[in-house]
Structure 1
Amino acid sequence: MIRKATWADAPAIASVHVESWKTTYSGIVPDVYLETLTVEEKQTLWEKVLRQSDHSVFVAEENGRVVGFTSSGRNRASNGPAVQYDGELYAIYLLKGAQGKGFGRQLVQVLVNNLE
């Protein structure tokens, strides 16, 4: 299930954010940095984002649990080929166990429909 995120989703989004970084970027980003990532820090970030009217955040749920999310808003590019677009995908994250199940495609489709 894909739905618009609410402020109450901030802890779950933060958890997905941190866990997906640790599994996806292990071996790419130094472990020392990955170990510094905390759900509490990201929760503060997502609480702030979810209060902003110019941000759209959607979550993917599986069995009632948030397993992924997207964040989007206005295009932040000031020049170059990306300027032709009004909206931008800021982030997309999925837990490792949720990958390959179509959640990413569904999240992007909802995001695109929201930008239109």
Structure 2
Amino acid sequence: MSWADKQLKKAKIHSLVEQALKDPQFQEAQKKQTEDAIREAFDCFLLISADYLHRHHSYGKKRLMRFLEFADGQMKYIPEDPEYFRLLNDALAEETGVNILENLGGQDEKYR
């Protein structure tokens, strides 16, 4: 295979990959995969939080369920109002002296 044939084949493959990336079905599948990964990360974080509350603060079923219901209710603000979390962080920092978004690596510009 000549150099020109290799370049032509490479260009065709590149074109096919670009075409596939623009395909709405591929984009939808990629979006679903991202949403599933985010949901799994939140679930794991809530599990870690619930475990901590149970082990270190003796939360039983009733208080853990209240915590999970509260967290679930707050999740709606993630896509709707990102400013909400910056304001919440600022209020908690003022009340407790702990700036969560700053201290735990949440350096995302949208929360500043």
Does TM, normalized by the shorter one, top 0.5? no
Point out the structure with max Rg over C-alpha: 2
TM range (shorter): 0.3 to 0.5
